[in-house]
Amino acid sequence: MDRIELSQIRCYGYTGFLAEEQVLGQWFEVDLTLWLDLEAAHQSDAIEDTLDYRQAIAQVKEIIKTEKFALVERLAGAIADSLLSLEKVQQVRVRLSKPAAPIPDFGGRITIDITRPLPQDS
C-alpha cells in the first residue's frame, strides 16, 4: 500500500492531565503516515486523485487547538478518527508528542504512537 508521510506538524493545544495544562496549554508535535492508493494520481497527475495533505494538516491543527482531553492517548485517537474520515485514506499512523511534558526532572518528550485502519463498515 502506498503512503503519504507528514512530519513535524506543530501546534499549541490544551490537552493534559493536569488542570494547568488545560488552561495554560502547551506545544504538541504530530507525525502522520496515511495509507492510500496513489496509482490514479501517478497516472493522472491530478490533485483530485490523491489526498490534498493540506486538509489533513488543517484537521490535525484544528483538533489540537479546539479539543481538550485529559489524556494525550485520547487526543491521538481523535486525530486518527478524523483523518480516517478523509476520502481515500485506508489506514493512519499518528505519532503525537509532548516535547515539554510538565514532569519534574524530566527533559525528554512523551510520544503516543497509534495505527488505526479504516473501520470495516466504511
Phi, psi of 26 (to 5 degrees): -170, 170
- Who contacts 61 (Cβ-Cβ below 8 Å, separation ≥6)? 9, 11
Look-up of cell digits 497516472: 43
8 Å CB contact between 9 and 39: no
* Catalytically annotated residue among 61, 68, 88, 98: 98
- Catalytic site residue 88? no
List residues with catalytic annotation. Answer: 98
